[in-house]
């Protein structure tokens, strides 16, 4: 099967979720991704304690969807012999991805300037919290900090309550990993015209702010500041909100357009609100009345009713219901993958390409699982590989 990124070779130096998610997206569409991991035990920060012989490591790898479709070589990049191996790998690589704090790759000698001299076609993507420049560039952080600086956390929640902290989707995975994958694909296309690679600087806080583009249009136009729970799209109106049902579950309503709003009022039996969609003076009464109505039926019962009419509505699915939801199943968003510990379930491929579809080709490797294979492909014989392993340069 032809895949969109066939023959694109990626060397992935990243460790935490945003980088592996980026390279997972590339691997799902055919990229040849090799994880360049620390030799187990050589670094408390950069490596994994997993070993090839560990049964628990095999099980963890099987369920680690972020590592799927990849190979793994373990290199101690502080060792000159290991760096030489990496340089030889970089000679034929298309992409290098790293997620260290600014300055680390320079100290290790695997930065863009060094590698671009070895391979001018190399595309080098640095993925960090605050980017390679600016006053925050050397600060440590996590998703919660990046969405704070990028503006997303400040608009999330209910009035008078602390900000609602989402799971680490916005900065780590959307603003970081997905943003990086998009940038890498754009650089690959650009290289077809220029013949040269380039350096990509991905900041997760930049990515979050980019996702806030639409939200900031009102601010730039008329100084409108979006406050938690007071804006149309963050819970400030009854007809774009969530309601608790009789079974304790929640149901979401998104009836923004007038015809959707009208259908909602009629289904709920509140025709007195038909011409009052934008009358803020009655929102508290509307919210209270609808809250009482939604508590008369279960979430599934409401979905069955709402689906008969043209209403933007859906139950708020808990994780166990997400993976059995008939729509998600029909869209192949839950897949079974063969692994050394048997079949395991993972989330499927989001983007559906008709001619070059993505595919989950294998589960995550154990750290260093392909070290020997990669070294042999570079011309190292068994004796030399043994020497390198004994010295701790590889694992």
Calculated CA dihedral for residues 58, 63, 66, 69, nearest 10 degrees: 70
- The CA distance from 10 to 4, in Å, is 14
- The CA distance from 214 to 348, in Å, is 29
Tokens of 286: 């509307």
Give catalytic status of residue 370 as yes or no. Answer: no
**Do residues 26 and 8 make contact, with C-beta atoms less than 8 angstroms apart?**
yes
| Cα 254–Cα 260–Cα 263 angle in degrees, nearest 5 | 115
Q: Which residues contact 299 (CB under 8 A, 6 or more apart)?
A: 245, 247, 249, 250, 251, 315, 316
Q: Which residues contact 147 (CB under 8 A, 6 or more apart)?
A: 153, 166, 170, 171, 175, 208
Give catalytic status of residue 259 as yes or no. Answer: no
Work out the number of other CB atoms within 10 angstroms of the CB of residue 221: 8
Indicate which residue of 28, 32, 143, 172 is catalytic.
Answer: 172
Indicate which residue of 142, 201, 300, 325 is catalytic.
Answer: 142
**Do residues 360 and 336 make contact, with C-beta atoms less than 8 angstroms apart?**
no
Residue for token pair 């392909």: 370
Phi/psi of residue 239, each to 5°? -90, 5
Residue for token pair 């993505």: 358
Question: What amino acid positions are annotated as catalytic residues?
Answer: 142, 172
């Amino acid at each position: 099967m032809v895949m969109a990124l066939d023959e694109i070779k990626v060397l992935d130096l990243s460790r935490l979720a945003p980088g592996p998610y980026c390279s997972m997206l590339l691997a799902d569409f055919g990229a040849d991704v090799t994880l360049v991991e620390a030799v187990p035990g050589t670094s408390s920060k950069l490596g994994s304690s997993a070993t090839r012989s560990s049964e628990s490591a095999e099980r963890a790898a099987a369920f680690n969807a972020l590592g799927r479709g990849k190979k793994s070589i373990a290199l101690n990049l502080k060792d000159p012999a290991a760096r030489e191996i990496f340089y030889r790998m970089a000679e034929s690589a298309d992409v290098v991805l790293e997620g260290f704090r600014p300055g680390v790759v320079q100290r290790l000698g695997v930065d863009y300037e060094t590698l671009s001299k070895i391979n001018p076609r190399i595309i080098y993507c640095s993925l960090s919290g605050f980017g390679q420049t600016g006053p925050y560039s050397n600060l440590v952080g996590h998703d919660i900090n990046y969405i704070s600086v990028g503006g997303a956390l400040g608009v999330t929640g209910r009035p008078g309550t602390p900000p609602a902290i989402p799971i680490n989707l916005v900065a780590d995975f959307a603003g970081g990993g997905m943003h990086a994958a998009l940038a890498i694909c754009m650089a690959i296309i650009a290289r077809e015209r220029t013949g040269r690679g380039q350096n990509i600087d991905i900041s997760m806080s930049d990515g979050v702010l980019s996702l806030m583009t639409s939200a900031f249009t009102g601010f730039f136009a008329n100084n409108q500041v979006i406050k938690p729970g007071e804006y149309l799209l963050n819970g400030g109106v009854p007809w774009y909100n969530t309601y608790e049902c009789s079974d304790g579950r929640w149901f979401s309503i998104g009836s923004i357009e007038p015809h959707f709003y009208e259908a909602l009022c009629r289904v709920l039996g509140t025709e007195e609100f038909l011409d009052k969609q934008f009358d803020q003076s009655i929102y508290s009464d509307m919210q209270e009345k609808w809250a009482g109505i939604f508590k008369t039926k279960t979430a599934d019962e409401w979905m069955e009713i709402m689906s008969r009419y043209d209403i933007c509505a859906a139950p708020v699915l808990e994780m166990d219901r997400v993976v059995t939801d008939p729509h998600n199943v029909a869209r192949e968003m839950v897949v079974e993958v063969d692994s050394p510990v048997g079949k395991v379930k993972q989330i499927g491929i989001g983007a559906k390409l008709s001619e070059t579809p993505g595919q989950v080709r294998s589960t995550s490797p154990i750290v260093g699982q392909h070290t020997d294979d990669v070294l042999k492909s570079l011309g190292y014989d068994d004796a030399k590989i043994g020497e390198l392993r004994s010295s701790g340069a590889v694992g």
